[in-house]
Amino acid sequence: MTDLAAFAREKGVKYFLINFTDLRGVQRSKLVPATAIGAVQKNGAGFAGFATYLDMSPADPDMFAVPDATTVIQLPWNPEVAWVASDLVMDGKPVEQAPRRVLATLLDEAARRGYRMMAGVEAEYHLIDPSGDAISDPRDVDAKPCYDQSAVMRRYDVVSEICDAMISLGWAPYQNDHEDANGQFEMNWDYADAMVTADRHAFFKFMVKSIAEKHGLRATFMPKPFADLTGNGCHAHVSVWDREGATNLFLDEGHDLGLSALALSFLGGVLAHAEGICALSNPTVNSYKRINAPVTASGATWSPNSITWTGNNRTHMVRVPDPGRFEFRLPDGSANPYLMLAAFLAAGLNGIDGSADPGAPLLDVNMYTDGHTVEARKLPLYLIDAIRAFDADGALKERLGGDFSSSYVKMKMAEWTDYSRHLTDWERHQTLDC
């Protein structure tokens, strides 16, 4: 096990961010001096759970974040500080509703069955001005700005610093591009074990925001920050391997799309639970302005609207870009890195247990133009629909854990109620004269 005190001495680290991600996807930390890290590594950093989104009360005892020293990352933009993902404990027991714990429990279950989930993410974000009202580059106005060479180079200072950081961390980034919306970028790095990817995804969001701020800009992963522009997706690439990570159990070269029977059952589970998954993969009110959006300035939203799967066709919820893996195009930038992957794994394991049939792929159907010609379930229209679908999905909730599921539904219902109490300008304009 990595000795964090020794790590600090070797690397010149003065402080550690003892980090966890709460149910709402907010990253929480205590800044611990290196002189105290030995005791914190052993006992954890103390938190009042009620002060975060973890469904606790002020009467609950102290919660401790015990650092997982294998995750330690020295901040490339501030080497005096290191970040460490942590596991939450209260009264000597794991906090079962903690997102990292939810994913870890499912990965342990999969491992007992001989499965090792691998995952990669495509994290999209906008670089906007500090006010949040506009993109940061006034010259980025093309209707189809995707892969715009000049636009990406005008943000070279930010994009290259983020990519250089990933290279230094050993993540093996392999491409950066200007995405389909003005002011939008995407950065890709190699897939890894699901927990490694989730931890890196959490750190990536923190890193992008921090480096953007360093350059006087603001980065946002908000699903739909601008009504007329393509939103921020977070496509998840998933495969299941054997316990040693040597053989891809989703791969079958004899299948037309290169998918094994195990992969098809996994996919069948994801499709069967898709409405409930939305509550975790698309967890905000704003999420549903991305997946149910009208045509954008570029001519396409690039986000799904129905529960369908296909081969190499980006208009569906699930794409098979290569043999032996799925691209789940449903999640957006607000997804909790841990809960997003946990939701797919939970649904996939249910599918494997029931030998679920995903049905035939819709290979040649453009769901944006011809979706009306096929029978397919539609994705939830609003967050409240997704919450209700998740709450009604007993099998998915059981697999994810009862403590987590009840806490999550409670928090999301409160969030929807809070949103519903807001009076909008649209309401006033439409109804003042009624």
d(CA 287, CA 331): 9
* This model's pTM is above 0.95: yes
d(CA 321, CA 309): 11
- Kindly report the number of other CB atoms within 10 A of residue 81's CB atom: 16
Residue 354 tokens read as 């029931």
Phi-psi region of 329 (alpha: psi -120 to 50; beta: other; left: phi over 0): alpha
pLDDT digits (tens), the chain, 434 positions: 689 999 999 999 999 999 999 999 999 999 999 999 999 999 999 999 999 999 999 999 999 999 999 999 999 999 999 999 999 999 999 999 999 999 999 999 999 999 999 999 999 999 999 999 999 999 999 999 999 999 999 999 999 999 999 999 999 999 999 999 999 999 999 999 999 999 999 999 999 999 999 999 999 999 999 999 999 999 999 999 999 999 999 999 999 999 999 999 999 999 999 999 999 999 999 999 999 888 999 999 999 999 999 999 999 999 999 999 999 999 999 999 999 999 999 999 999 999 999 999 999 999 999 999 999 999 999 999 999 999 999 999 999 999 999 999 999 999 999 999 999 999 999 999 99
192: helix, strand or coil:
strand
Nearest to 146 by CA among 114, 116, 185: 185
List, in sequence order, every residue forming a beta bridge with 189; answer none if it has no partner.
Answer: 173
CA 93, 96, 98, 100 torsion-angle sign: positive
Q: What is the enclosing helix (H) or strand (E) of 278?
A: helix 274-281
What's the full length of the chain, in residues? 434
Q: What is the enclosing helix (H) or strand (E) of 20?
A: strand 15-21
